Amino acid sequence: MTRCYIGLGSNLADPAAQLRSALAHMEEIPQTQVLSCSGFYASAPIGPGEQPDYVNAVACVETSLAAEALLDALQAIEHLHGRERTLRWGARTLDLDILLFGDKTLGTARLTVPHPRMAERNFVLEPLAELAPDLCMPDGTPLQTLLARCPPNRLHRLK
């Protein structure tokens, strides 16, 4: 089994409910178990145009699936929630990102792990630190070092 961290985000159609529903669907992914989830955090949007604030969280899962098979399952859940990929970084009903896949570094046409922009996003690092404060990235960088360098983004914990 591989321990993975999944970023969850939504800023449309009752975002907190979208995240709760996504977590329930993640429980149904074969060969995968959701171990824990951070609290929910509100953050300012990053992306084009006027958008509502996001609700974000991070889930810790264990899986025996390959990384791209897990990605397929997560994208199927996004699709169930009405995710449309029309505008990069645009508003969305649900976004599920593989942040870390064990201690692996992966770079394929479909998937880059660790997530390439996670070090710039406090709405990823704060909830990740809630779950695993002593975590180190695959390159050995402590999560706390990334968090200390990360720019602020009007982030606050909801629950």
pLDDT at position 20 over 60: yes
User: Across the strands, what pairs with 112?
Assistant: 107
Quick one: average pLDDT of 96-109?
Answer: 96
Q: Bigger pLDDT: 51 or 117?
A: 117
Quick one: average pLDDT of 107-114?
Answer: 94
Which among 93, 145, 96, 139 has a CA at the least distance from the CA of 119? 145
Residues labelled catalytic? 83, 92, 95, 97
> Which residues have a Cβ under 8 Å from the Cβ of 153 and sit 6 or more positions away?
43, 44, 46, 121, 122, 123
Contact, 5 vs 14, CB < 8 A? no
pLDDT at position 16 over 80: yes
pTM to 2 decimals? 0.93
Q: How far apart are CA 153 and CA 159, in angstroms?
A: 18
pLDDT the model gives residue 159: 65
